[in-house]
Amino acid sequence: MATQFEQRPEDGSVMLPAATIAGTRYGASNREAGNAIHNASTGEVIGWQEHADAAQVDAAVRAAQAALDAWRNRTPASRGKVLHKIAESIAADRARLSAMQQRVSGKPPLEADTDVSDAVATFNYYADLCADISLFATDTLALPDDTVTGERQYEAVGVAALIVPWNFPMVTSAWKIAPALATGCTVVLKPSEFTSPVEHLLAEIMTAAGVPDGVVNLVNGSGEVGALLVAHPLVDKISFTGSTAVGRKVMQAAAQDMKRVTLELGGKSALIVRADADIEHAVALALGGAFANAGQMCSATSRIIVHDDVYRKFMAIFEAAVRALVIAPPQTENVSMGPLVSHAQRARVQALLEQGVADGATIAFSGALDNACTEGFFMAPVVVAEPDTANVLWTDEVFGPVACVKSFRTDDEAIALANDTRYGLVATVVTRDGGAARRYRNALRAGLVWINTPQLIFPQVCWGGLGLSGIGRELGLAGLRSYQELRHCIASRG
């Protein structure tokens, strides 16, 4: 971790501040108010995250409010230059950011490096949008009354509270911070207390890149800190990524003041393999969709639906591929999957697996941990065959390396199975038939459908889902508009 932070006298671990407000770091009012940060690959304590108190949350929001007018009154092009500088600085600091991801979360090098690339691309995308003056200009409207004129404009919502999870630190933060700053909003960011070191580095980078004091502030801590932030009367917009259960609480709190909300929540997504699919390719997509980031993805396609004609072939190749996965610490050669984020998360996933098996699910096969996994929070990937559609492993978001496979005979059956969920985030379809692909694209109840591709995510493509997967969209032009209010004016020509 960065050496400029204090150390705890008890164990010498790095102590991360409770809050960074208008460029100044603040320790916790109670120095025992905090949590240990672990290396997920070894279990060792590598830091201590202090927690903000109510006064610090209030100060952070007020700092953002104080900085708002100056920031939103800058030209979009001026804000865009700062965003380009942030992207440039993240790219230049790639090695340190990737190493931090690997050390805290245990991500394999390729996954950690991809996270850095995603953050760079996101800041560059919104910087480029700032150069398109039409996105910020006041438009003249044609009205049926010649005695008046009409105008339409988009303006910054105001102070945005951004709450991000632990599975993709920095990436999720970039998805929220970049469009917020592009529109002229100021923000208070609350990272996950388990993976906050990378957000602290990101805050340093943004300050060095020219983000004025007060435009980006951090408050750190658990859900209690997030609740204080969400409830603050000076917060105008909330963007939350996390579980559906917490998303409900955020929405209820936001309703008190009618705050604008974007909620990116859970998922229980399907990957459909038709009889005409390239099975080797389908298996590769299944591996990535179910076990990337150790399955800790809201977009995990952990319900794999395979046509009966190719089911046995798929399962044979899938089994060989799962058994060949190298589950190990990030420094291990050819590592393909890392650990879960914490002991508690691993215990939760294992408990769900045990519950599913107790209720009748059958484990078809599983992977194996590398010999290097002597410590840490590793869990071997597990594949369940033909679970009942009411089984918890089929219905609930496990958020770990557990995949279910079911067979189908007709497209109607596959579509019904895929759509039989209260979530609706993503789906993947593997087929050589263009007509079938179009039918699935239109029939699947999901915010994003991939056809024969890995889970590619571009800043230009909106991200978000239906049902319990959330409200609103991130990324794309819709991601920009989510930090803007639409206003109109009708004026007399006289």
pLDDT for 114-140, tens place per residue? 999 999 999 999 999 999 999 999 999
User: Per this entry, what is the length of the chain?
Assistant: 494
Residue 1 above 60 pLDDT? Answer: no
pLDDT per residue over 465-483, tens digit each? 999 999 999 999 999 999 9
Active site residue 88: no
pLDDT per residue over 86-96, tens digit each? 999 999 999 99
At residue 12, the pLDDT reads: 55
Indicate whether 212 and 356 sit together in one domain.
Answer: no
What is the number of structural domains in the chain?
2
**Over residues 451-461, mean pLDDT:** 97
Residue 190 above 60 pLDDT? Answer: yes
Indicate whether 89 and 158 sit together in one domain.
Answer: yes
Indicate whether 333 and 429 sit together in one domain.
Answer: yes
CA distance 184 to 127: 12
pLDDT per residue over 211-243, tens digit each? 999 999 999 999 999 999 999 999 999 999 999
At residue 475, the pLDDT reads: 98
| Active-site residue, selected from the candidate residues 50, 111, 264, 474 | 264
Coil, strand, or helix at residue 28?
A: coil
At residue 32, the pLDDT reads: 78
Coil, strand, or helix at residue 12?
A: coil
Task: Using alpha carbons, select from 412, 315, 397 the residue that is nearest to residue 356.
Answer: 397
**Over residues 337-365, mean pLDDT:** 98
Q: What is the pTM of this model?
A: 0.96
CA distance 165 to 157: 23
Indicate whether 276 and 261 sit together in one domain.
Answer: no
| Residue 493, domain member (yes or no) | no
Indicate whether 97 and 181 sit together in one domain.
Answer: yes
Residue 408 above 90 pLDDT? Answer: yes
The domain that holds 438 is classified in CATH as 3.40.309.10
CB-based contacts of 95, cutoff 8 Å, min separation 6 = none
Indicate whether 161 and 282 sit together in one domain.
Answer: no
Residue 399 amino acid letter? F
Neighbours of 151 (CB within 10 A): 13
Per the CB < 8 A criterion, the answer to whether 458 and 476 are in contact is no
pLDDT per residue over 101-116, tens digit each? 999 999 999 999 999 9
Per the CB < 8 A criterion, the answer to whether 61 and 159 are in contact is yes
| Residue 250, domain member (yes or no) | yes
| Residue 67, domain member (yes or no) | yes
Instruction: Report the DSSP beta bridge partners of residue 307.
Output: 408
Torsion angles phi and psi, residue 37, rounded to 5: -110, 125
The domain that holds 59 is classified in CATH as 3.40.605.10
CA distance 403 to 336: 16
Q: Which two tokens stand for residue 171?
A: 């990436």
Residue 5 above 60 pLDDT? Answer: yes
Q: Judge residue 50's burial from the number of C-beta atoms within 10 Å of its C-beta, 0-12 exposed, 13-18 middle, 19 or more buried.
A: buried
Determine the longest span between alpha carbons in the chain, in angstroms. Answer: 82
Measure CA 146 to chain center. Answer: 49
| Residue 23, domain member (yes or no) | yes
Q: Would you list the DSSP string of 246-285? A: HHHHHHHHHHTTT-EEEEE-----EEEE-TTS-HHHHHHH
Per the CB < 8 A criterion, the answer to whether 56 and 21 are in contact is yes
Indicate whether 261 and 188 sit together in one domain.
Answer: yes
CA distances from 139 to 144, 151, 155, 493 (A): 16, 5, 12, 16
Indicate whether 286 and 390 sit together in one domain.
Answer: yes
Residue 325 above 60 pLDDT? Answer: yes
Residue 450 above 70 pLDDT? Answer: yes
How do 186-190 and 148-156 pair as beta strands? Answer: unpaired
Per the CB < 8 A criterion, the answer to whether 481 and 181 are in contact is no
Task: Provide the mean pLDDT of the chain.
Answer: 96
Q: Percent of the chain scored above 70 by pLDDT?
A: 97
Indicate whether 254 and 346 sit together in one domain.
Answer: no
| Residue 455, domain member (yes or no) | no
Per the CB < 8 A criterion, the answer to whether 431 and 277 are in contact is yes
The percent of the chain in helix, strand and coil, each rounded to the nearest 5, is: 40, 20, 35
Q: Judge residue 81's burial from the number of C-beta atoms within 10 Å of its C-beta, 0-12 exposed, 13-18 middle, 19 or more buried.
A: middle
Indicate whether 410 and 427 sit together in one domain.
Answer: yes
Indicate whether 242 and 332 sit together in one domain.
Answer: no
| Structure confidence at residue 31 as a pLDDT band (50, 70, 90) | confident
At residue 273, the pLDDT reads: 98
CA distances from 17 to 4, 28, 50, 224 (A): 11, 7, 6, 17
Matching residue, tokens 């049926």: 144
| Residue 462, domain member (yes or no) | no
Coil, strand, or helix at residue 333?
A: coil
| Residue 141, domain member (yes or no) | yes
| Structure confidence at residue 406 as a pLDDT band (50, 70, 90) | very high
Indicate whether 374 and 238 sit together in one domain.
Answer: no
User: 254 is in which domain, residue-wise?
Assistant: 6-266+470-488
| Residue 456, domain member (yes or no) | no
Q: Would you list the DSSP string of 336-381? A: -B---S-HHHHHHHHHHHHHHHHTT-EEEEE--B-TT-SSSS----
At residue 33, the pLDDT reads: 86
**Over residues 460-467, mean pLDDT:** 97
